[in-house]
Structure 1
Amino acid sequence: MGTQYTDDVKSSFDPKSQTEDTPSFDERTAEQKAIDDWLPITSSRHAKWYYAAFHNVTAMVGAGVLSLPYAMSNLGWGPGVVILILSWVITLYTLWQMVEMHEMVPGKRFDRYHELGQEAFGEKLGLYIVVPQQLICEVSVCIVYMVTGGTSLKKVHDTVVCDDCPRIKLTFFIMIFASVHFVLSHLPNFNSISGVSLAAAVMSLSYSTIAWTASIHKGLQENVQYGYKGTNPSETTFNFFNALGDVAFAYAGHNVVLEIQATIPSTPEKPSKGPMWRGVVVAYIVVALCYFPVALIGYYMFGNAVDDNILISLEKPKWLIVAANMFVVIHVIGSYQIYAMPVFDMIETLLVKQLNFKPSWILRFYTRITYVALTMFVAICLPFFGGLLGFFGGFAFAPTTYFLPCIMWLAIYKPKRFSLSWCTNWICIVLGLCLMILAPIGGLRNIIKNASHYKFFG
C-alpha cells in the first residue's frame, strides 16, 4: 500500500539478506522494486522544497484564476469575497492535513492519493472512493487546459493577424496546443518536468499580474454594473451555482499533492513533510497574490459584463494582451503535464502490475500518446470554458479538495468528539458537500445552454 522509505527497512527486503528457503519472496521483491523504479511517481526522490513550491503553484494557479472575475459577477461582492477567502483558508487546511498524513505510519509513505484512501477506508473501498474522483479531477483538468491553451492561441492569432483574414477554427488551435504534449508526455517523472513546471509557475504569476494591471490600465468601464447578470431569479441561481464550481476549480492542487511529496527524500529524522509544507506555504502566498487581485480588480473594473476568461475582456494594449495569452499557453503546458503524470502512473501501474505487461518505453509511448489524443478529442468536442469549470469544479474537485481529506483525518486520527479538530473537519465536510451538490447543477446547465448553439468541430 505505502512505499517503504528508510534504508533499514529497504535492507530487510534485500534479496542477499534472505535465506535460500525464500527464493520466490526474493524474486517478487526484486521485480517489484524494478517496477517501482520505473513508475513515474516512485522513480525519483531527489526533489527540494522549492520543487514542491513551483509544482504546487503550477498545479493550482491556472485556468481557474482567469475565471474568478466572472465568478465574482455571479456571486456578488459580499458572497464572492467571503467564498474566496473561505476557500483559500479551507483548502490550505486540508492541504496541510494531506502533507501530515503522507507519512503518518512509521516506515511507510503514501505516495498516491488512493493509497491514503486505502489506509483510511480499507483496501477495496479506498480504491473505489478515491480513484474515480481523482481520475475525474485530473482528466478534466487536462481537458479544460486543452481548451484554455487552444483559446489563448486563437486569441493571440486574432489579435496579431489582420481583422479581414479568414477565420481559423478553435479546433485547429487545440490541435496545435496538443502537439506539444505528444512530445512532453514522454518525460518519465515529476523531476524530469521540473524545468517545465518552473517556467509554468513563473508564467502564472506573470499573466495574473498582467490581468489585474491591464484591468486597472483599461479603467473603470462606463456604466459598469455590479448586479447579478441573470435576467430572472432562476438564471441568477444557476449562475451562482456555476460560480461556486469556478472557485472550487481554482483550488485544484490537492489531487497531485501526495504525488508531488513522493518526490522529496525522507528519513525518520528528516521526514518529507518539513520541506513539503515549506513549499506549500510559499505556493499559497503566490496563490493569494494571483487570485485576489485578479478576482476583485477584474470584477470592479468590468462589473457583470466581464467575460468568463478575463483576458478576453482586455483588448488593449495589444502587445500586452498577446504576451499574457502566450504566458497562459506556456503555463497550461506545464499544468497539463503536472496533472497528466499521476494518470500516467495509474495507467502504467494497472498495465504492469495487474495485466503483467513488461515495463518498456514502447508501452509508455503508446499509453501516453493515446491519453493525449483522447483529451484533445474531448476538448475539441466540448470547448465550453465556463461551463466546464463549473461542472468539474463542483462534481470532482469539491470532494478531493474540500472534504475528503477531512473524512480521512477523522477516520485515521479519530479526534475527540466536539474538539476543535472534530468541529473544524465537520464544518469543512458540510460546506464541501453543499459545494459538490450545487455547483454541477449550474455547470451542467451552462454546458447544455452553450451546446444548443454550438457547431460541432466549429
Structure 2
Amino acid sequence: MGTHVADNYPPAKDGRSAQEKAIDDWLPITSSRNAKWWYSAFHNVTAMVGAGVLSLPYAMSELGWGPGIAVLILSWIITLYTLWQMVEMHEMVPGKRFDRYHELGQHAFGEKLGLWIVVPQQLVVEVGVNIVYMVTGGKSLKKFHDVLCEGHGCKNIKLTYFIMIFASVHFVLSQLPNFNSISGVSLAAAVMSLSYSTIAWGASVDKGKVADVDYHLRATTSTGKVFGFFSALGDVAFAYAGHNVVLEIQATIPSTPEKPSKKPMWKGVVVAYIIVALCYFPVALVGYWAFGNHVDDNILITLSRPKWLIALANMMVVIHVIGSYQIYAMPVFDMIETVLVKKLRFPPGLTLRLIARTLYVAFTMFIAITFPFFGGLLGFFGGFAFAPTTYFLPCIMWLAIYKPRRFSLSWFTNWICIILGVMLMILSPIGGLRQIIIDAKTYKFYS
C-alpha cells in the first residue's frame, strides 16, 4: 500500500506507474492536497470533541474530584504529545509522505507486521466510533423530539426509527469523494461541538447545585467502585480519540521541502487542542459540581430545563455527530476502496463507491440498532482500541524509528506514556464490559 511522494517533489522520485498514480488521485485520502492549516484545526476538533464530552461529568462521578481532574489533565497532555509525534513522523523520510496510519506502522514495524499491528486497531476505533455515533445521533434526535413533544400528547417513537433517520443522512453524505469535500460539514460540526459544550456547562451553572448534591463515588459497593473507575478511564480515553485520522488529515495539506506540511498541521492541532480544553474541562467539572453522582451518562439528559435550550443542544449534537461520523468513515472508505481497486482489481468509479459506502453505512446502522448501550460501549471501545492508537502506539513507533538514547528525557517520556497506555488498555474494557452486561440484563432487542 506504499507511501506517496510529497507534492511538488521532482517527478524522478515518483516510482508509481500512470495507473497507480490515477488510483491514488482517485482514493479519498490522497486525491486532494490543497487544504489550509485551519482545515486541520476544525477537522481535528470534529474528530476529537465527540459525544464523549457529554459523558465526562458521569466519568467524574465514578472517579471523584482528585483522580478525575488528574486523569483529565494527564490525558490532555499525553494525547497532545502523541499527536505531535504523529505530525512529526508524517514526513520523516525525505521525499515520502506517510498518508495513512498503517503506512507509518509499516515503516516502523515492517511491511507485514505493520499492517497487522495498525489496521485491526484502527478499524476497531473507526468502525466503533461510527457505531457509537449512530447510537448518539439517534438518541439525540429522540431527545429533541421528546422535549418538543412534552405535554403535546405526541406518540412515543422507538429509538430504532431515530437511528434509521440519522443513518439516512449518511447514505447521502458518504458519497462525498474526499476529506476536502467534507470540510463544510466538518466546520459546522466543530462549531456545534463548542456550542453544545457551552450550553451543557452554562445550563449547569444556571441551574446551580442540586439540593442534596453528593460527591461520593457513584457506586456503593467496593466492587462497583473499582469497576466504575475502570469504565470511567475508558470514557476519558474515548473523549481523546482524534489520532486515528490525524495522518489522513495531514495528507490533505500541500508540502514542499521548504514548507513541509507539519508546520500548518501543527498550528491547526494547537488551535484544536485549545478548543478541546475549552469544551472538556468546563463540562466535566461544572457538570459534576452541579449534579454530583446523580448525573446521567449524557449530561444533556440530566438537564431538562429550559426546554428550548436543551432541544437546541440536542440538535447541535446531531449536526456534530453527522460531521464526526464522516471524518471517521473517510479512512475506512479509503481502506475498503484500496482493497477493492488494488487487490481485487475492481475498476475505480462511481458504482464501486456507491455500493461499498452504502453497505458500510447500512452495517453501522444495523449494529447500532441492535446494541444501543451508549455508556458501556464508550468504556469498552475506549479502552480496547483508543488507548493503543492514541496513548502509546505513536510512542512505540517513535522509539522504533528514532531510537532515542536510553534513559534520556525522550526515552523516559515515551516509556511512561506506554506504561500508562497499556494499563488503560487492560483496565477500562473490564469496566465497560461489566456495564454492557448490566445494561443487557434489562434490555429488549429492537425496542
Give me the TM-score of the superposition, normalised by structure 2: 0.98
Equivalent position of 2:3 in the other structure: 2
Q: Are residues 1:350 and 2:351 paired? A: no
Q: Distance in 1 between matches of 2:365 and 2:444?
A: 17
1:93 alignment partner, one of 63, 81, 84: 81
Q: Distance in 1 between matches of 2:140 and 2:200?
A: 13
Q: Distance in 1 between matches of 2:92 and 2:3?
A: 10
Q: Distance in 2 between matches of 1:176 and 1:106?
A: 47
Structure 2 SS opposite 1:454: coil
Moved >4 Å (runs of 4+): none
Amino acid at match of 1:451: A
Q: Distance in 2 between matches of 1:121 and 1:257?
A: 19
Deviation for aligned residue 1:11: 4.3
Q: Are residues 1:300 and 2:292 paired? A: no
Q: Distance in 1 between matches of 2:92 and 2:47?
A: 24
Deviation for aligned residue 1:218: 1.2
Structure 2 SS opposite 1:67: helix
Q: Distance in 2 between matches of 1:336 and 1:183?
A: 13
Equivalent position of 1:20 in the other structure: none
Q: Are residues 1:123 and 2:127 paired? A: no
Q: Distance in 2 between matches of 1:162 and 1:401?
A: 41
- Structure-to-structure mapping, 1:213-252, within 5 angstroms: 213-252=202-241
Q: Distance in 1 between matches of 2:80 and 2:50?
A: 17
Deviation for aligned residue 1:231: 2.2
- Structure-to-structure mapping, 1:64-143, within 5 angstroms: 64-143=52-131
Aligned length in residues: 445
Q: Distance in 2 between matches of 1:366 and 1:267?
A: 36
Q: Are residues 1:402 and 2:359 paired? A: no
Equivalent position of 1:190 in the other structure: 179
Once the two structures are superposed, residues 236-283 of structure 1 have per-residue CA deviations (whole angstroms, 9 ceiling, x without a partner) of 111110000000000010000000000000001100000000000000
Q: Distance in 2 between matches of 1:358 and 1:421?
A: 46
Deviation for aligned residue 1:7: 3.4
Amino acid at match of 2:339: L
Paired residues of 2:13 and 2:95 also in contact (CA < 8 A): no
Indicate the RMSD between aligned Cα atoms, in angstroms: 0.9
Equivalent position of 1:21 in the other structure: none
Structure 2 SS opposite 1:103: coil
Once the two structures are superposed, residues 119-155 of structure 1 have per-residue CA deviations (whole angstroms, 9 ceiling, x without a partner) of 0000000000000000000000000000110000000
Q: Are residues 1:176 and 2:177 paired? A: no
Amino acid at match of 2:86: M
Q: Are residues 1:452 and 2:441 paired? A: yes
Equivalent position of 1:415 in the other structure: 404
Q: Distance in 1 between matches of 2:157 and 2:58?
A: 26
Q: Distance in 1 between matches of 2:124 and 2:322?
A: 19
Deviation for aligned residue 1:166: 2.5
Unaligned segments of structure 2, at least 5 residues:
none
Q: Distance in 2 between matches of 1:175 and 1:8?
A: 46
Amino acid at match of 1:138: E
Paired residues of 2:5 and 2:13 also in contact (CA < 8 A): no
- Structure-to-structure mapping, 1:307-326, within 5 angstroms: 307-326=296-315
Deviation for aligned residue 1:167: 1.4
Structure 2 SS opposite 1:189: coil
Give me the TM-score of the superposition, normalised by structure 1: 0.96
Once the two structures are superposed, residues 178-236 of structure 1 have per-residue CA deviations (whole angstroms, 9 ceiling, x without a partner) of 00000000000000000000000000000000000000111100111010111210011
Once the two structures are superposed, residues 22-65 of structure 1 have per-residue CA deviations (whole angstroms, 9 ceiling, x without a partner) of xxx9xx70000000000000000000000000000000001110
Deviation for aligned residue 1:10: 2.4
Amino acid at match of 2:251: A
Deviation for aligned residue 1:12: 4.8
Q: Distance in 1 between matches of 2:12 and 2:320?
A: 42
Q: Are residues 1:148 and 2:136 paired? A: yes
Paired residues of 2:85 and 2:394 also in contact (CA < 8 A): yes
Q: Distance in 2 between matches of 1:284 and 1:259?
A: 18
Deviation for aligned residue 1:6: 4.3
Q: Distance in 2 between matches of 1:386 and 1:51?
A: 31
Paired residues of 1:388 and 1:447 also in contact (CA < 8 A): yes
Paired residues of 1:9 and 1:107 also in contact (CA < 8 A): no
Unaligned segments of structure 1, at least 5 residues:
14-24
Q: Distance in 2 between matches of 1:268 and 1:212?
A: 45
Paired residues of 1:134 and 1:255 also in contact (CA < 8 A): yes
Amino acid at match of 2:240: Y
Deviation for aligned residue 1:8: 4.0
